[in-house]
Structure 1
Amino acid sequence: MGNGTSMEETMNTNISEAEELEKIEIQLLLQALYEWYGFDYRDYAYNSMKRRIWHRVHSEKLTTITSLLDKVLRDPQCLQRLLADFSINVTEMFRDPLFFLEFREKVVPMLRTYPSIRIWHAGCSTGEEVYSMAMLLQEEGLYDKTKIYATDINANVLKSAKNGIFPLEYMKKYTSNYLQAGGNRAFSDYYSVVHNGVKFHPYLTKNIVFAQHNLVVDRSFNEFHVILCRNVLIYFNKSLQKKVHELFYESLGMFGILGLGDKETIHYTDVTSRYEEISVKQKLYKKVK
């Protein structure tokens, strides 16, 4: 046998070099978005961003990430398409119904003791979970003294959330979620059927403020009794998760409640000792320090 490099080693070297080049291209694209447009996605989870970037490369009928970078810097419409790819909009009404049931049973009694209630829904997407919370609070007699701040980085999804119109075919699933979450009325009482879907009644949004807020760069804007940020942190890397946890901690009043998604936790973060668990399974925490 000779001392030459085997074909397998050569292939591995080529793959390694291609991955390294790909990583550099992605870093350049994200840095350009930040420096030229002010959108900071540099600390989002790498593999998730890679998939979304390649989806946009292929959708634009391009072959390289560098060619996408060139187009994004010169074509505002391409930029908007890429930003839409980056926006995480997977949601539904009363998503994870047991979370809302636990909230109803364990958090609502605490909220009853406040003269007024401020809730921040961070990363609210198209608003389904915000409407869900409004319904829950309405049924518990708390909505009239509550202000809900529903924020997202994406202006387009906020516009959809304000409209309150959702596909009719989703209502069967949403009704099931609502009942599992402890709902005690006819779910259909909350909406009317319109020509392009169903529209939820305007009284549900009378105490909701929809606004743009970027968890990456924006600061706290109030002190809250409840902060809900569910299934958003999973798309951030560790350093950005740490930064956002600090933001939430600063934004919560003493004994305020933090609600996270089922794959998220405050464990292994710098704020772990500052909370006590209200519900281990449903990821509800109370600020105690």
Structure 2
Amino acid sequence: MDAAVTEIHIGKVEDIEIRLLLEALYVRYHYDFRNYAMASIKRRLKQAREQLGFSTYSALQENLLHDPSALPRLLDYLTVQVSEMFRDPAYFKAIREQVIPHLLTYPSLKVWIAGCSGGEELYSMAILFREEGLEERTIFYATDINQDALAIAERGIYDLDRIQLFTENHRKSGGKSSLSEYYTAAYGRATFDKTLRRNVVFSDHSLVTDAVFGEMNLVSCRNVMIYFDRSLQDRAIGLFKDSLPRNGFLGLGSKESIRFSSHAKSFKEFVREEKIYQRTD
């Protein structure tokens, strides 16, 4: 068997191992990554296998099945935890200038930050709503499938060397104050004011397996669905549709769209450039 044939054979075996690993993860722990984009899953599982010290995906699966403490370590690789405050400032500027005027007409509001990761987008939205006078009437729901990420979000502590970028993003988003008003700095860390999360509910929620849990005025889910395959994207958009009343708003990431979804007719483009939609039906 020549080298090329051997490589193909190994690749096919690894594909089988990966599918069995994902099935085991679902059956044992109810985390469902089976319909995530396979290229992305393979890349992240390869990194996990190598850095956790397993020679095969089957060995990684055996460890996962018999040692529950292996689950959080694997989830750190499978869930993307890279974000920043006021990421894509134009998105937040559009929320501030075009969505907020509509939300101001409501006596109370619910905002869902789906896939909140380490909390950067949550704090961005909480600060924006405070600056626009809406914080007191708003409940924020920050959800993720990764419990460790939720714990980081709930602490609201970030490395100080990230703050310069956060500050510049905040300024570009139309910030009406200095970002420094919202955190205290010490020992190389910035700790965000705990009052920013007094109206926040942190919760474990999966867009893959869980149902709608409330009616929201705004759903912001950015750079999560790019890791889903088409059927899973459609399921997530259906969840968002069912979470929004007529005239509710949905914000997606810059590389995401509802164009090919079976639910597309339930929305209109509200700010096309920033992937902000409004439910119409």
TM range (shorter): over 0.9
1:208 and 2:200 correspond: yes
1:101 and 2:81 correspond: no
SS where residue 151 of structure 1 aligns? strand
Aligned partner of 1:255 in structure 2 is: 247
Calculate percent identity across the aligned residue pairs: 42
5+ residue gaps, structure 2, are: none
Aligned partner of 1:232 in structure 2 is: 224
Match of 2:75 among 71, 79, 83: 83
Match of 2:59 among 67, 70, 76: 67
Letter in 2 for 1:117: L
Aligned partner of 2:127 in structure 1 is: 135
1:26 and 2:18 correspond: yes
1:214 CA displacement? 1.1
Aligned partner of 2:167 in structure 1 is: 175
1:118 CA displacement? 0.6
- Supply the distance in 1 between the matched residues of 2:193 and 2:141 (Cα, whole angstroms): 18
SS where residue 86 of structure 2 aligns? coil
1:65 CA displacement? 1.1
Letter in 1 for 2:196: L
- Supply the distance in 1 between the matched residues of 2:194 and 2:168 (Cα, whole angstroms): 22
Change (3 A) 1:196 1:211: farther
Change (3 A) 1:191 1:60: closer
TM-score, scaled relative to structure 2: 0.96
Asked if the contact 2:72–2:148 (Cα under 8 Å) also holds between the matched residues in 1, the reply is: no
Letter in 1 for 2:29: Y
1:279 CA displacement? 1.1
SS where residue 281 of structure 1 aligns? helix
CA RMSD, 1 decimal:
1.4
5+ residue gaps, structure 1, are: 1-6
Runs of 4+ in 1 over 3 A off after TM superposition: 10-16
1:245 and 2:237 correspond: yes
Higher-Rg member (1/2) = 1
- Supply the distance in 1 between the matched residues of 2:114 and 2:240 (Cα, whole angstroms): 10
SS where residue 227 of structure 1 aligns? strand
1:115 and 2:99 correspond: no
TM-score, scaled relative to structure 1: 0.94
SS where residue 210 of structure 2 aligns? coil
- Supply the distance in 1 between the matched residues of 2:148 and 2:240 (Cα, whole angstroms): 24
Deviations 1:182-239 (A, max 9, x none): 0021111111113351111122111111111111111000001100000000011111
Aligned partner of 1:3 in structure 2 is: none
